[in-house]
Structure formats: C-alpha cells, structure tokens
Chain A
Amino acid sequence: MYEITDLTKTYAAQGRTVRALDGVSLRIGAGELVSVQGPTGGGKSTLLQMLGAMDRPSSGTVVLDGTDLTTASDRVLAEVRARTIGFVFQGFNLIPTLTAQENVETALVPARVPGAERAERARAALASVGLGDRGHHLPVELSGGQQQRVAIARALVKNPAVLLADEPTGNLDEETRDEIVELLEGLWHDGLTVVMVTHDSAVARRAERRLRIAGGTVSELTPAART
C-alpha cells in the first residue's frame, strides 16, 4: 500500500529550520491497523499529512498503490484524497452549518456522485456508525462522540482504501473512546487499512502494529520489522 522512502520535511519557523521528519522510511501493507505514538511536535501529524496527500515532503518519496504523491499534480492529489483516502480529524472538523447527513455528503461532492445516490450512501454510512436517526442534526446538536462518528462516516462513505485518523479519541471521554476504537477495529477486521495517530497508549496497544515517532524519526514498537 504505502512505500515511504527517506522522507524528510522541514519547516521555516521563527527564523530557524524545523526538521519535522528526518529520513523516514516505512512500508505499510494493505489491511494493517497501525498506531503511531510520540510526543507533541515529534512529527506525527506531519507524517499523517504526507500519507494523506495533503502536503509535499522536502525530500524523499511517498508512494500509494503505485502513485508517487510527492511528484503528482495538485489535481491528482485532490483526486487521491477524494477517492482513496478517508481522513478523520482530531477536532472532527465538521462544517457547522451543515447537518450530519450533509456533512457526510460533502465527501462525495468531489467524486461527482449524483445527489440521490449521495444522500442514500450518506444515510447508509451514518447508519453504519450507529447514527441513522441523527442525519438531520447540526453538529452543535450532537455529542463529541456522535460528532466523531459523523466524521468517521464522512471518511468511510467514499469507500476509501485507507483510513487515516489523527487523534480520533483525543477529545472523547473513556467510554466514548472505547466505542470509537471498537468501531475502527471493526472496520479493520472488515479489511480496511487503518493508520491512527494517538497519544493514548491504551488505544495504541490495540493496534496490530505500533510505531513511535520522535524528533522526526520513526521506530517500531512491535516485533515485526517492516522497514
């Protein structure tokens, strides 16, 4: 699935250069459930942005199913994000003025899915995360856990090849956290590749494969050496 080779990303911040990723090489296979842990500023989110085709590295390559995301055009990257990658944000990132149903539908807009089919697939996605009766609610009318479920439904509705989750349980209480993790595990069991960044070791331990990133470098916490 992912072939990451000598990946480096540097930022200019406050007059100095910050090396967020420093020569990362990594391979993630299809159907894996991978957790990425590490301290704040260690490069977790930057790595996820590279995997999610949202930013370009300073050097190195990221290849997703044969597509080099480092050299692809903006149009191709948008197409990859629209069809291949599902992304779950830590802060849910729902559009506050749209209902749960409409928020899920936004993920199908770039794929030009017709309106009726879009609505039907959004309803099904919401039902799959247990929110079949909450489609007409605005985000502000939903709990944190429900909002994260809507965000997961939005990521899943396009039937992506990989699900990238950035701190998916970061803003949730313990009970809700477990529900979300079970949901992600269920998706993994159904064959979806899942990569999640988390601070929570309890969550990370439930992953098949655990990575740690600190100072821009990645290390395996699980025995299987895949780099």
Chain B
Amino acid sequence: MSALHFATLTPFLLAILIPFLFKYIKRIHTGWFVLFIPLILFIYFLTFIPVTAAGETLMSSMAWVPSLGINFDLYIDGLSLLFALLITGIGTLIILYSVYYLDKRTEKLNNFYVYMLLFMGAMLGVVLSDNLIVLYVFWEMTSISSSLLISYWYYRDKSIYGAQKSMYITVFGGLSMLAGFSLIYIMAGTFSIQGIVANLEPVVNSPLLLPAMILVLLGAFTKSAQFPFHIWLPDAMEAPTPVSAYLHSATMVKAGIYLVARMTPVFGGNAEWFWIVTAAGLTTMIWGAVSAVRQKDLKAILAFSTVSQLGMIMSLLGAGSAAYYFGDGDNALYVTAIIAAVFHLINHATFKGALFMAAGIIDHETGTRDIRNLGGLLTIMPITATLSFIGLASMAGLPPLNGFLSKEMFFNAMTYITEYGIFGIETWTVILPVVAWIASIFTFLYCAIIFFRTFTGKFRPEKLETRHVHEAPIGMLVSPAILILLVVVIGLFPNILAYSLIEPAMRGILPGMIGAGEFFEVDIYHWHGFNIELMMTIGVVLFGSLLYMTMQKWSKLPFYHRENDVFNTVYDTGYEGLIKGSQFLTRIQMTGRLRDYLMYICAFAILLFIYTMLRFDAFVISTENLSGIDPYMWGLMLLLVASVIAVPFINNRITAIIVTGFAGFLVALMFTVFRAPDLALTQLLIETVSVIMLVLAFKHLPKLWKEKTRPMIKAPRLIISIGVGVMVTLGSISAFTLGGQAGYTGISEFFTENAKSLAGGYNIVNVILVDFRGLDTLMEVLVLGLAAIGVVSMIKLRFKGSEDV
C-alpha cells in the first residue's frame, strides 16, 4: 500500500462517514465536509505534475490475486494524471455547487454524497489502474454508482427509466470489454497495460486482435455515448444538475475516451481501429449536433451537445492513431490530432461543466428548463448570462476562447487527414472534413439557440413556476465562474498547459513514439494566417447565424418537432422483448412445484453424466480389491431400501414423516458403522430438528391427496428417479475401480497427515471445515443465513391482497 493507493481508495473509505455526519450534524450542510476530499486529492495529484512533465512515470504495485496475474497496480503518466486532475478538480467545484443546489432540509444528502464519493473513487480507479481486470472492476463500479446518482430522485419514473437505461447500456459494454480484456490476456499473457505495450509482438500478430478490438471498443463507445449507444445520455439528464455536470462534462463519459486513448498503443496502426474510431466519432458528432438543435429542454440540448463533442474527441483520437501506422513521432499531422484531442478534452470539461451549472441555476431559479417558456433573463440574471455567453461562445468555437483553438486544430486534423495516403483514405477524401464542418455549423446553431432563447426576447413570468425570479446566490456562481475563468485564461494563454498537461498526456497516448529525453512539440497559437481552417470557422459562423435567423421558417418543419431519437424506439422495443422473453423462459421452468425443479436438475445431471462417461469411455466395473460384507449390513441395507421404496405408497402424512425419519436414522446408523462420528451426529441432529419442524409446520400443510396422473407423465419421472440411482452407483463403482487402476491416493491422505501439524487439530473433519476449507464453510453459512432471512421475510411480508413481496 502506497500513498497513491490510499489516495485512490480515500473516497471509498471516507464515504462510510457521510451518513453519520448527515445524521448527527444537521446544522452544517454535509457537502462542506465532503468538499475537502476532492480538494485534498486534487492538491495531492498536482504534486505529480513536475514528475510527468519531466517525462517520467510512476508505478506502484500491490498484490491482490497474484496467482491469476491480477494486481492492484497504479500507474501515473501524463494521461492518467490529466484525468485524475479533471476528476478531482471538477469534483471539488461540483461539490461546492451542490451545497447550494441541494437543500439540506429536504434532500437525502447522505445518499447523494455517498454515491458521489463512490463514483469519484471508481473513476480514479479506472484512470489510475494499470491492471485490466482492476480497471474493469472500477469501470463497472462507475456504471453502478452513476446509475444510483441518476436515480437519486428515485420517486420519479423518468429517473428510474434513465438510470436503468444507462446501466443496461454501459454494463453491456462493460461485459463485452471484459471479454475483450480476456482475449488480450490470451494474446499477451499479462493483464498489465504497460506490460502489453512493452511487448506488443504477440498481440499484433494474433488473429484475435480484431475481435478483441471490437469488444474493447464496445465498452468504450457505450460509456462515451457514441453512436448508436448515445441514447442513454439524454435520459440520464433526470439526475440533479450537479450530477449531470460532473458525469457528463468531465468524468463518466470521458472514461470511454480514456480507454480509447490508453489502448491506442495496443490497437493503433490498424486500419480497422482507425476507421471504426474515426467514423464512429464523426457520426456521433453530427448526429448529436443535429439532435441537439431539435431539443426544447436546456439540459437535453446540453446532453446531445455532449454526445456531439465526445464524438469529436473520439474522431481525433482515431485520426491520431495513424501515428502507429507510420511508427514515428515526426509527422505533424497526427500529432496535431492528438494534441487537439487532449486539448479539447480539457476545454470541454471547462465549458461544459460551467454550462451545465448555468442550466442548473436557471432551472433552480425559474423552475423550468423549457426554452419555449424561458426568455429575457439577461437583465434579471446578468452574471449567469455572462458566464453562459462565454461558455457557449467557446463551445461554438469563437475566438479568442479555448474552444476556438481546439476547433481550429480539429479542422486542421480533419482536412489534412487526406494527406496521409493510407488505409484507402483517398477515396473518402472529402467526406471527413465536410462532415466535421457541417456538425460544427449545427454546434454553432444550438449554442445560439441556448443563449438567445434563454436570455433575450420577452420575459414571461406567467410561464415560469417560481414567482420572484432573481440571480442565483453567490455560492452557486463561484464554481461556474472559476470554470469560465479557466476558459478565458486557457483561451488567451494556451501554452501554459502545453508542457504541463498536454505534452505528458500525449506521451501516455503515444508511448514509444519518441525516445527518452525528447518531447513532442506542442505550440498552440491563435493566428495561422488566412488558411483553410480559418475559412471553415468563418463559414461556420456565417451559416450558423443564417440558420438561426431563418429559424422561424424551418422550425415549422416536422423534422424540428421529432425530438425522440429513433434509437430510443429500438431500445424500448428491445427492452420489452427481453422482459417478455425472460418471462416466457421463467414461466417454463418456474412452475412453483418442487417436484418439477428436482426433475429438471436430476434429468440434466443424468444427461451430463452419461455424456461424460461415454465420451471418456469411463464405465469400468471390477470386482477386485473388495472387502466382504457383514451379514448385519445386508439387514441394514434391506431395511433402508424397503423404507425408501415404501414412502411413495403411503397415504397418511404422519406415517410418511415417520418412515422418512426412519430412513434418515438408518443412514446415521450406517455412518456409525463406517466410523464417521461427525457425520452420524450431524445426520441425527438434522433428523431431529426436521422432525420438530415438520410437527410445527404440520398445521399449515394442506391435505395429502394423490394426484391422478396418466402413465405417460408418470413414466418419465420413474425413469429419472431410477436413472439417478443407477448414475450414482455406476459412477462410484467406476470411480473406485479407475482410482485403483491409476493408483490415485485420495486427498484424505493429505488431511490425515497435515491436520495436526498445520492446523493443530486431531478431528480431520472439523479441521477441514474451519481451516483447510474455511472459505467454503463461510460461504455455506452465508447461504444458510440468507435462506433463513429469505424464509423469514417471505412469511412476514406475505401477499396482502394484491401486494407482492
């Protein structure tokens, strides 16, 4: 355990305190306590900047399951540090904002902050883990905690729907990602990402590369809301605004971006990777931008705009992956793409975080987010309006803000992608920049819609839910103001980030491209002369303004009113189909009759047994090495067989119970004969307890009656029950014979020899239970306890009328 491990686990550890703080310190908003956690972590991670800026990395190991190659290894390089800083930095601002957003008297703050810390810790785990399996565990934790956050207002149906949707889609992606990681393990023989990158030879030449790539990309695309998995993101807007701002500006959705960036050294350089990532990114970008224009809800517009911006970053990473095709770090083109991706990642976190918070302020103060009801807020909320204006201008790509810089670089990357001359790009020359350009026009358009519809026009208080609309309290404005300040500062002086964050992150994405001691050249400036990128930006502004001015005309088109994404229909139908299908399957198996369940289990076991025995030709019966059978054993066995056979023919319940008990006691007797006192004791006690239980439950049992069943139904049951007997007999005889032939010694020898020396006990059975196989015992009693609690709750919370348990 190093300090780094503690830092990663801190959010989890301190989350335990939150409910107590909430319960016992009512006077102070719980958020004030929570605020310190991300703040301290942020400062802690800041101390790593000199390390990564010098081009060094840090690996800190801790064994977890070393026998399977799963270690809790944390790795810090420029890329993971950038994300860690975003997570903790934006996290601090979000917590501060939430203190003012959520009322301490009415909201369940304990739930909120516990989920928030779980999420934060899980995100830190994702970006810092070097081990793929550990990364996967944290990855799924982000899915779970984020859906808890989305369903924070769980009494709203829409919140539940949104939470479920995000969970299903991201967990689906997570599982395919796990499959992808397993394939990578098969190829590379290690789960360590750095280990895989250091020895790429077996991975690159493997036929499994493409399936692994697609599976990993499914994970990344579902998480990052890439087309066509983007549909969960708009529905996730049902979360409280601090959550949306956190999850969808800086963290959750960026996890997919992180994964793609992290995996670039492994998969980059393949035509498939280049095409899938770039094409998915661009499709998402234009789809999100066009969909955003059609939305009427402020947060929905921002949601689709997030989808679109993520697509943009994704396509840049795809374009940049070509660096691995050429295998050198000199070509300025793809280096530009990676710079743009990292730079825009930072920029998007700043302006989108601020915009979400501004939308939250508007919602909080006016009670609505519908742009058809809003308007004229410029004079009422001047600070919010200013902040929103700067943020939107940055998103639209206007100079001199940071969004302009990364947009220019994006155009540059997309335009000159044609010059690569690889992967059959020549034929697709025009499409990429054109798509990028059109998507940017729509980006400009929805930015304009947000600003002008909300802040200009006529103020109509009668359409708003709150009476006195006024500017938000100062505390709520601090966080967006800090972010907007960053937008402006980065916009004016972009090169303060160049060698502190961007260049180290690029070394993380493109390791091995340059030697030790060398650095990528990162120089961001505003004026490149009258080149094609500038023309494209001017075109975006012109066409965007034109479209906004003619909005009156085209807003009557049916296109504008179709807010619902077509893929939502696909999801809903698929979801219903899944539910129906599983209900159908369940109804076949779960008849509610113990008899049927036993039949399924036994029939399956018999089939499996027969198959295995035939497949390995394992039926052997030999009469060698048998000891004699004492005459009294014959008597015992006959009694046992007779009592068991008698049970089905008894019509009286008491008699049936007694005869079953009799058989049980005979078994106990046989244990005694074979000198197994522990088993005999247990068997005796179990019989006693079950007799007492039957007596107690007697009054609840229905009248015993014989079902009249046709022989056709009875026959299979008879076959199955005889089959089970034959199977067990043949199986044990064969096992005994084969064991004798092969000279196996049973595992019991080990226990006999070592029980005293290793565990200090003479009773082997007990030593096995508590020591050698302690975990099994623990799990067994866990099951026992769960079963007891299940029985108790089923009896206590039984159906009352139409009410289900």
Q: Are A and B genuine complex partners?
A: no
- Seen from chain A, the residues whose Cβ lies within 8 Å of a Cβ on chain B are none
Taking beta carbons and an 8 Å cutoff, which residues of B are in contact with A? none
